[in-house]
Amino acid sequence: MRIIVTGGAGFIGSAVARHIINNTQNQVLVLDSLTYAGNLESLDTIANSDRYKFEHVDICNRLELDRVFSEFQPDAVMHLAAESHVDRSIDGPAAFIETNIVGTYTLLEATRQYWNALRETAKEAFRFHHISTDEVYGDLHGTDDLFTETTPYAPSSPYSASKASSDHLVRAWLRTYGLPTIVTNCSNNYGPYHFPEKLIPLTILNALEGKALPVYGNGAQVRDWLYVEDHARALYKVVCEGEVGETYNIGGHNERKNIDVVQTICRLLDELVPNKPGNLTKYEDLITFVTDRPGHDMRYAIDASKIDRELGWYPQESFESGIRKTVEWYLANEQWWSRVKDGSYAGERLGLTH
């Protein structure tokens, strides 16, 4: 297969690209506009593969998309390009509307034009796989409720509202034009190459520097945590085996309160990095509760039984094994995250060395 991965220099997208190159014989073309969260260094391990190619393309640029489709002739599109940080969407929603809504529309139209020109057998085999989030479903109030594939949408933030809109566009292009689309909605990802503004890497890196570990409100917000490499396996299985028109929820079966996640990381660091900065006795002493963010959902939790039942996917990592692997990865890869933190990774973005 020849697969376009949009947003492939981002956290989840790069995991998908690495998974495909390392575990299949398929060809991957990564499209990424290389905004702040796009990092070509996350693709270094596959950069020398003759089955991997990178194109510096914004999904809002229709002319460039048409060129890429014409030259690469993909069998599938895995659409991960998105602005994804809730706090940033509150401070500046315009970029989320542009990328997540207008960008998805532009990509759908470029895909539709390309798909319409394919021979019938190629048209039937083609897939447009749209990767979304469980945040489109809004908030769960009961302790036992779970998001299913038929849970009504009730987004709370500009980010989740823009992703909900993109989900609707994808389904409409199937219903109206027959474009063979599939949608997946995932829970919170974590793991290697995670941009340091997100909770888990921020906690790890702040702790190593003896800085405050900020926790919103009282830290009681619950999330279902999914190891990113488990997610990449699921996404590849969906694009290869999923049914057109179906939605698959992908979750880690690992519900944790935010405060418990932070405390778990602190205990792992106590074990793995006993020489603490300053006069620190234990890393938990750095935990600092801060004012909650506006519209903060209290609980997300995914029912992932459908993808298990129909496609045979189940996460391999427990939260305990995944978070240990994550902490160990950050300890072993200071060069990667230090270049993100000091901004020098931007030089590679601008130099486009891949």
The residue type found at 333 is N
Compute CA distances 127 → 76, 293, 296, 345, whole Å: 5, 38, 34, 33
Compute CA distances 132 → 81, 138, 164, 166, 197, whole Å: 10, 13, 8, 8, 20
pLDDT band for position 347 (50/70/90)? low
Average pLDDT over residues 141-167: 91
Average pLDDT over residues 34-61: 95
Does 348 have pLDDT greater than 70?
no
pTM: 0.94
Asked if residues 185 and 250 have their Cβ atoms less than 8 Å apart, the reply is yes
Does 208 have pLDDT greater than 90?
yes
pLDDT in tens, 164-191: 999 999 999 999 999 999 999 999 999 9
Domains, in order of start, for the chain: 2-194+225-254+299-316 (3.40.50.720)
pLDDT band for position 353 (50/70/90)? very low
Please tell me the predicted confidence (pLDDT) of residue 140. 87
Does 24 have pLDDT greater than 60?
yes
Specify the long-range contacts of residues 255-258, CB closer than 8 Å, at least 24 apart: 255/222, 255/223, 255/224, 255/225, 255/299, 255/301, 256/222, 256/223, 256/225, 256/319, 257/219, 257/220, 257/221, 257/222, 258/199, 258/215, 258/216, 258/219, 258/220, 258/221, 258/222, 258/223
Asked if residues 174 and 244 have their Cβ atoms less than 8 Å apart, the reply is yes
pLDDT band for position 64 (50/70/90)? very high
**Chain centroid, CA 34 distance in Å:** 15
Would you say the C-alpha torsion 307, 311, 317, 323 has a positive or negative sign? negative
Q: Does 61 or 291 have the greater pLDDT score?
A: 61
Please tell me the predicted confidence (pLDDT) of residue 183. 98
* Bridge partners, 182 (sequence order): 129
Q: Does 352 or 176 have the greater pLDDT score?
A: 176
Does 346 have pLDDT greater than 70?
no
Please tell me the predicted confidence (pLDDT) of residue 341. 87
Would you say the C-alpha torsion 6, 34, 348, 325 has a positive or negative sign? negative
Mean pLDDT of the chain: 94
Average pLDDT over residues 138-143: 81
Average pLDDT over residues 234-248: 98
For the beta carbon of residue 16, count every other beta carbon within 10 angstroms.
29
pLDDT band for position 260 (50/70/90)? very high
Does 143 have pLDDT greater than 80?
no
Please tell me the predicted confidence (pLDDT) of residue 237. 98
Asked if residues 107 and 78 have their Cβ atoms less than 8 Å apart, the reply is no
CA distance 100 to 118: 27
pLDDT in tens, 103-122: 999 999 999 999 999 999 99
**Chain centroid, CA 63 distance in Å:** 26
* Dihedral pair phi/psi, residue 3, rounded to 5°: -120, 125
Residue 34, phi-psi category: left (phi > 0), alpha (psi -120 to 50), beta (remainder): left
User: What are the residue numbers of the active site?
Assistant: 134-135, 159
Average pLDDT over residues 37-41: 91
CA-angle at 177, arms to 176 and 180, nearest 5°:
110
Does 275 have pLDDT greater than 60?
yes
Question: Among 211, 201, 306, which Cα is nearest to 261's?
Answer: 201
For the beta carbon of residue 352, count every other beta carbon within 10 angstroms.
11
Does 238 have pLDDT greater than 70?
yes
